[in-house]
Amino acid sequence: MGSCCSSPERKDTNTVKTELEKDKGVQEVEHPIYVGKYDYDSRTDDDLGFKKGDLMYIISTEDVDWWFARLKDTRKEGYIPSSYVAEYKSLDAEAWFLGQIKRIEAERLLNQPVNKVESFLIRDSESNPGDFSLSVKDQDRVRHYRVHRLEDGSLFVTNGVMFQSLHDLVEHYKTQKDGLCCNLLCPCLQTEKPQTAGLSRQANKEWEIDKTQIQLKTKLGAGMLGEVWEGVWNGTTSVAVKTIRPGKVSVEVFLQEARIVKKLRHPRLIQLYAVCTKEEPIYMVMELMKYGSLVEYLKGEGRTLKIERLVDIAAQVASGMSYLEQQNYIHCDLAARNILVGEHGMCKVADIGLTKVIDKDNMEAQGAKFPIKWTAPEAAIYNRFSTKSDVWSFGVVLYEIITYGRPVYPGITDHEVLEKIQQGYRMPCPPNCPKEYYDIMLDCWHEDPASRPTFETLQWQLEEFFNSEG
């Protein structure tokens, strides 16, 4: 059996009694044992680096995002991101248990190349609270099985074989199929690590950082506001840095908006880590994504993606936008150029809130182009931006995705676009585009903003697009 199938050594207790500074006579105390779920490389001198599977004692949880811990083997101490660990022997500590994720996310993870046939995961059931779902990678697809839980707590999948725990269930199906499509050999490998709250505990508290901590490495692109660079923070951590050209934004307005954006945290949104505003150009320090913008990715490496993957990308974007919708936050500039792509096709919405802080008079004076082809008519004409105007923009993003980044409204000028849209024109259905997908685009482009779907509905429609079982 490969190393991917190994499980951590089990102990009889989740806590240990340790003597803190025994030589100084400090009283013996109890500390819970946790296990690393992902590798974490220390970023500052106060951090504690560890590997997946390492055991550690949690000394303090005063900061909900950054706990103080001590490694069991080396007794080194420092701060760790709480999202990278789980209580030892708990269900969350099992490599195969992913908790509250949706079926489509399970399929996305299991279909990654690193996961071979007979890889599996267990998650909370979406349709039957209290039960679980088993997702298994078969030869041609991911298959899903309901794990039933009886009143006495016992569990079963098929054929009446009963188990007292999910661990017992997994151990049984490792060696016997008993009605499943295949054995459960390897827990699903997760290539995407959780976001950390800021770059470090201190940077999360005081997110205005000194520019000397940032080293700009490679220029990735340039836009209306400034340039985007790949950089390194504190000599340890790769980041993306957006440099804002002098005069483009009011520092006061920028900071006000940035404070809001920094609190927005979702797996499908690019995280803003920190800012440098003491001198121009202003720096925005953000999460780095390997493949850059979605529009360029679709024209290049993503050119061979099949329709299933394209719809999945659209669903990911809708998921991030649904979160913004729940937070009553308006993006104002949703477009494929402002969606970034990471490993294994993971997509995240970027440039959240930037449009709100632009000096509009300065922009017009310098001849910068307003993204009229992505903007809802009520927003372009009357400046009425809303979640529903974001939905209109999402319809244009759907067009960009299904056409592999082709220009929108080809052969039509910005001025003509607005006039034609007011007359009822909508982009025609692209070649090889499913009718059901195009219908979603048309729903997004409804003349009446109130009649456009919510992002919650759009997310559901796209996630259920192929009606997979499970």
Residue 155 lies in a domain: yes
Strand pairing report for 142-149 and 155-156 = antiparallel
Same domain? For 40 and 132 the reply is no
C-alpha to C-alpha distance for 421 and 443, rounded to whole angstroms: 14
- Cis before 430 (ω within 30): no
| pTM confidence score | 0.85
C-alpha to C-alpha distance for 56 and 59, rounded to whole angstroms: 9
């490998």: which residue's tokens?
189
Shortest CA distance to 437 belongs to which of 256, 310, 268?
310
Answer yes or no: are the C-beta atoms of 312 and 104 closer than 8 Å. yes
Residue 323 lies in a domain: yes
Same domain? For 318 and 455 the reply is yes
C-alpha to C-alpha distance for 407 and 399, rounded to whole angstroms: 9
Same domain? For 263 and 349 the reply is no
Which pLDDT value is given to residue 8? 39
The verdict on whether 47 is a catalytic residue reads no
Q: Domain count for the chain, please give it.
A: 4
Same domain? For 40 and 181 the reply is no
Specify the amino acid at residue 220. L
Which pLDDT value is given to residue 245? 86
Residue ranges making up the domain that contains 240: 209-286
Tens-binned pLDDT, residue by residue, of the chain (470 aa)? 444 544 433 333 455 454 444 444 444 468 999 999 999 999 999 999 999 999 999 999 999 999 999 999 999 999 999 999 999 999 999 999 999 998 989 998 999 889 999 999 999 998 888 899 999 999 989 999 999 999 899 999 977 789 999 999 999 999 999 889 999 999 999 888 898 999 999 988 888 899 999 999 999 988 778 899 999 999 999 999 999 888 777 888 888 888 888 889 999 999 999 999 998 899 999 999 999 999 999 999 999 999 999 999 999 999 999 999 999 999 999 999 999 999 888 999 998 877 665 554 444 434 446 789 999 999 999 999 999 999 999 999 999 999 999 999 999 999 899 999 999 999 999 999 999 999 999 999 999 999 999 999 999 999 989 864 34
Tell me which H or E stretch contains 438: helix 435-444
What CATH number has the domain bearing residue 159?
A: 3.30.505.10
Answer yes or no: are the C-beta atoms of 234 and 213 closer than 8 Å. yes
Catalytic annotation, pick one of 54, 312, 333, 390: 333
| Nearby residues of 416 by Cβ (< 8 Å), 6 or more positions away | none
Residue 335 lies in a domain: yes
Answer yes or no: are the C-beta atoms of 430 and 384 closer than 8 Å. no
Same domain? For 162 and 111 the reply is yes
Which pLDDT value is given to residue 347? 96
Residue that terminates a domain, selected from 154, 187, 220: 187
Other Cβ atoms within 10 Å of 153 Cβ, number: 8
Q: How many CA atoms lie within 13 A of 468 on its CB side?
A: 21
Residue 314 lies in a domain: yes
Which pLDDT value is given to residue 21? 42
Residue 6 lies in a domain: no
Same domain? For 99 and 246 the reply is no
How distant is the alpha carbon of residue 165 from its chain centre?
30
Give the length of the chain: 470
Other Cβ atoms within 10 Å of 217 Cβ, number: 13
Instruction: Classify 148 as helix, strand or coil.
Output: strand
Which pLDDT value is given to residue 329? 94
Answer yes or no: are the C-beta atoms of 66 and 80 closer than 8 Å. yes
Residue 9 lies in a domain: no
Same domain? For 230 and 312 the reply is no
Residue 192 lies in a domain: no
What CATH number has the domain bearing residue 32?
A: 2.30.30.40
Residue 362 lies in a domain: no
C-alpha to C-alpha distance for 340 and 297, rounded to whole angstroms: 9
Same domain? For 279 and 158 the reply is no
What CATH number has the domain bearing residue 409?
A: 1.10.510.10
CA dihedral 197, 98, 88, 6 (to 10 degrees): -120
Which pLDDT value is given to residue 356? 63
Same domain? For 165 and 82 the reply is no
Same domain? For 145 and 248 the reply is no
Same domain? For 139 and 271 the reply is no
C-alpha to C-alpha distance for 242 and 231, rounded to whole angstroms: 10
* 37: DSSP letter: S
Other Cβ atoms within 10 Å of 51 Cβ, number: 11
| Nearby residues of 225 by Cβ (< 8 Å), 6 or more positions away | 242, 244, 245, 248, 249, 354, 358
Exposed/middle/buried for 469, CB within 10 Å: 0-12, 13-18, 19+?
Answer: exposed
Which pLDDT value is given to residue 32? 95
Task: Give the DSSP letter string of 209-276.
Answer: --GGGEEEEEEEEE-SSEEEEEEEETTTEEEEEEEEPTTSB-HHHHHHHHHHHHH---TTBPPEEEEE
Same domain? For 331 and 405 the reply is yes
